[in-house]
């Protein structure tokens, strides 16, 4: 009997006390990190220690489910530095220490991005200064954590077909002031500061199978070809996968799988880095909503994990109690959002079982 059937059976039998049903359901919910590990994969989540103060149950859930984590905020530039050149690593250090204690790998996130900059950064950028500002930041931050992180998201969301450039790059502050070489420089500087970390280009919407996604995928492959030909140390690509529940038809199809093969041919390690499913415009009925969300998790992850170059899955949160979607894409009807694998009481939802099934169906990595 598979896990989902077991839980359905538990719900259907005469388990009189709600508490004992909950315990039984939780016992049936094998840790996702364990299911992943059986296939040579990693499973994890974004992490912010402040949530553990609000919910000790969440802390327990996190440690039991995850063997890799991405700081949700703590390594972003605006979290580390409020004034020019002055850095406070204390909160990020706590997170790294927590992960070390609990044998959780850390994905450094993120060094060069157009978002989450402290107010002082844009004010200091000019074609004369920008290169130094960026390289100083990389040396300080990647240097500080050197040897302690599994990987770095060196550049984040650097593509944007909306910028209308032939190369598909986002016309952000770095590109405007340094030029297209900012990407190469960022990767080389990170490799020098932390030679052990795996260096990743993290990007959104590479997984959607519409015209926008096509343009992104094409730009990504062109960028990789140019950078790799020059020997730029880029080891992996992160697919954020902030998916939308109302776009089930454009996810995990043939063009996506072909793209993963193209990345594989370029010897990239691939990571799903920020997985969640927005249920903001889905029906109000919880059963119906949870089913749509779970089906997308299953479809997307099954397609992704079929490819051996995909090494791990990181969700953008584990419990619906602590999801950025409640602020970023709230429901118009005011109902709480349900984008993640576990509910607000840290109990597994259909999404959990869908993720578990996809991990169980994945070929074992060698």
202 strand-pairing partners: 156, 238
In the complex, minimum distance from the CB of residue 126 to ligand XIL, in angstroms, rounded to a whole number: 26
Total site size for ligand XIL, rule CB under 6 A: 6
In the complex, minimum distance from the CB of residue 77 to ligand XIL, in angstroms, rounded to a whole number: 11
| Axis crossing angle, helix 211-229 with helix 182-193, rounded to the nearest 10 | 60
CA distance 160 to 188: 23
The per-residue DSSP string of 44-77 comes to EEEE-THHHHH-HHHHHHHHHH-SEEEESSTTSH
Give, in order, the Cα–Cα distances in Å from 136 to each of 42, 61, 93, 130, 142.
Answer: 32, 37, 19, 10, 10
In the complex, minimum distance from the CB of residue 226 to ligand XIL, in angstroms, rounded to a whole number: 23
| 160 lines the binding site for ligand XIL (CB under 6 A) | no
CA distance 356 to 38: 12
Of the residues 203, 207, 240, 274, which is catalytic? 274
- Residue 346 has phi, psi (to 5 degrees) of 65, 25
For residues 237 to 266, the per-residue mask of contacts with ligand XIL, x marking binding by CB under 6 A and - elsewhere, is: ---x--------------------------
Distance of CA 340 to the CA centre of its chain: 13
For residues 49 to 88, the per-residue mask of contacts with ligand XIL, x marking binding by CB under 6 A and - elsewhere, is: -----------------------xx---------------
Q: Do residues 118 and 77 lie in contact, with contact meaning Cβ atoms separated by under 8 Å?
A: yes
In the complex, minimum distance from the CB of residue 115 to ligand XIL, in angstroms, rounded to a whole number: 7
Q: Which is nearer to ligand XIL, 72 or 320 (CB)?
A: 72
Q: Which is nearer to ligand XIL, 161 or 350 (CB)?
A: 161
Q: 157 an active-site residue?
A: yes
Residue selected from 74, 151, 156, 319 as contacting ligand XIL according to rule CB under 6 A: 156
Residue selected from 51, 62, 256, 324 as contacting ligand XIL according to rule CB under 6 A: 324
Of the residues 72, 157, 240, 357, which is catalytic? 157
Q: Which is nearer to ligand XIL, 131 or 242 (CB)?
A: 242
CA distance 18 to 130: 59
Instruction: Name every residue whose Cβ is closer than 8 Å to that of residue 274 and which is 6 or more positions away in sequence.
Output: 46, 70, 204, 238, 240, 241, 242, 314, 315, 316
In the complex, minimum distance from the CB of residue 339 to ligand XIL, in angstroms, rounded to a whole number: 12
- Residue 280 has phi, psi (to 5 degrees) of -65, -35
For residues 4 to 43, the per-residue mask of contacts with ligand XIL, x marking binding by CB under 6 A and - elsewhere, is: ----------------------------------------
Give, in order, the Cα–Cα distances in Å from 117 to each of 36, 77, 196.
Answer: 34, 5, 26
Q: Which is nearer to ligand XIL, 175 or 239 (CB)?
A: 239
Q: 274 an active-site residue?
A: yes
In the complex, minimum distance from the CB of residue 50 to ligand XIL, in angstroms, rounded to a whole number: 11
For residues 266 to 285, the per-residue mask of contacts with ligand XIL, x marking binding by CB under 6 A and - elsewhere, is: --------x-----------
**Which residue has its beta carbon closest to ligand XIL?**
324
Provide the 8-state DSSP code for 126. -
Q: Which is nearer to ligand XIL, 62 or 324 (CB)?
A: 324
Q: Which is nearer to ligand XIL, 175 or 356 (CB)?
A: 175
CA distance 41 to 37: 5
Q: Which is nearer to ligand XIL, 74 or 177 (CB)?
A: 74
In the complex, minimum distance from the CB of residue 348 to ligand XIL, in angstroms, rounded to a whole number: 22
CA distance 251 to 303: 9
End-to-end CA distance of the chain: 28
State the residues that interact with ligand XIL by CB under 6 A. Answer: 72-73, 156, 240, 274, 324
Which residues are annotated as catalytic?
Answer: 157, 274
């Amino acid at each position: 009997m598979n896990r989902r059937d077991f839980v359905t059976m538990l719900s259907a039998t005469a388990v009189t006390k709600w508490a004992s049903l909950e315990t039984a359901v939780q016992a049936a919910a094998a840790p996702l990190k364990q299911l992943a590990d059986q296939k040579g994969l990693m499973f994890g989540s974004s992490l912010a220690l402040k949530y553990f103060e609000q919910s000790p149950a969440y802390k327990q859930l996190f440690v039991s489910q995850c063997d890799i984590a991405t700081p949700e905020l703590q390594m972003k530039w605006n979290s580390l530095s409020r004034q020019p050149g002055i850095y406070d690593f204390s909160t990020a250090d706590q997170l790294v220490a927590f992960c070390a204690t609990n044998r959780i790998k850390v994905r450094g996130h993120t060094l060069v991005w157009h978002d989450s900059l402290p107010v002082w950064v844009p004010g200091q950028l000019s074609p004369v200064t920008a290169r130094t500002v960026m390289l100083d930041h990389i040396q300080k931050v990647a240097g500080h954590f050197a040897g302690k992180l599994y990987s770095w998201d060196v550049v984040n969301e650097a593509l944007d077909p909306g910028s209308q450039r032939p190369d598909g790059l986002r016309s952000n502050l770095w590109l405007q002031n340094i030029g297209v070489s900012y990407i190469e420089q960022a990767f080389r500087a990170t490799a020098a500061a932390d030679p052990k970390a795996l260096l990743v280009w993290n990007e959104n919407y590479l997984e959607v199978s519409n015209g926008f996604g096509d343009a992104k995928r094409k730009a990504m492959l062109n960028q990789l070809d140019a950078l790799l030909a020059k020997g730029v140390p880029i080891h992996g690509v992160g697919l954020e996968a902030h998916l939308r529940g109302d776009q089930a038809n454009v996810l995990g199809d043939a063009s996506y799988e072909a793209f993963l093969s193209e990345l594989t041919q370029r010897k990239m390690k691939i990571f799903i880095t920020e997985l969640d499913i927005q249920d903001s415009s889905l029906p109000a009925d919880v059963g119906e909503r949870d089913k749509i969300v779970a089906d997308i998790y299953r479809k997307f992850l099954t397609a992704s994990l079929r490819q051996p170059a995909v090494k791990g899955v990181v969700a953008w949160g584990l419990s619906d109690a602590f999801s950025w979607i409640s602020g970023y894409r709230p429901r118009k009807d005011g109902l709480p959002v349900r984008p993640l694998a576990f509910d607000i009481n840290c109990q597994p939802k259909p999404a959990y079982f869908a993720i578990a099934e996809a991990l169980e169906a994945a070929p074992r990595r060698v």
